[in-house]
Amino acid sequence: MIRIIGGTLRGRKLEVPSGLKVRPSADRVREALFNMLDHRLHWQDFNVLDLYAGSGALGIEALSRGARFATFVESSKAHEKILNKNLLSCKVTREFYDIFLDRAERWILSHSDPGYPSLIFLDPPYQENHYPQ
């Protein structure tokens, strides 16, 4: 389990997908990232996109801190179930998020609105080579 670091959902625990290919971002890494963003952003002005969402930790953390809306994209049906469970356990209402069961690359190509989203989290699975050098 991991936890939400800050905002209205601070301290809530999130279930994480299991398996050798999955390594959720550590609490300390997310805390450092969001502390930097907190000093540069007004969350209420942002819609976030959480690609390779997994547990949804990055998007849920952003919502907890006041982001307007989160779009979660996850290709694994099992991980999407965990994401839904986490959103329900955090009592995030449907008006604040969408979930797409799709590959990140395909979703990006089919959703090319330049005004949305305003912040993108891209955290692919640890052992998969999605983007060759």
Question: For the ranges 6-15, 43-52, 75-84, 102-111, which has the lowest average pLDDT?
Answer: 102-111
H/E segment holding residue 100: strand 97-101
Count of Cβ atoms closer than 10 Å to residue 130 Cβ: 12
pTM comes to 0.89
Average pLDDT over residues 88-95: 97
DSSP-assigned beta bridge partners for residue 49:
71, 120
Q: What is the DSSP secondary-structure string of 33-66?
A: HHHHHHTT--GGG-EEEEET-TT-HHHHHHHHTT
Domains of the chain: 2-122 (3.40.50.150)
Express each pLDDT in 41-77 by its tens digit.
Answer: 999 999 999 999 999 999 999 999 999 999 999 999 9
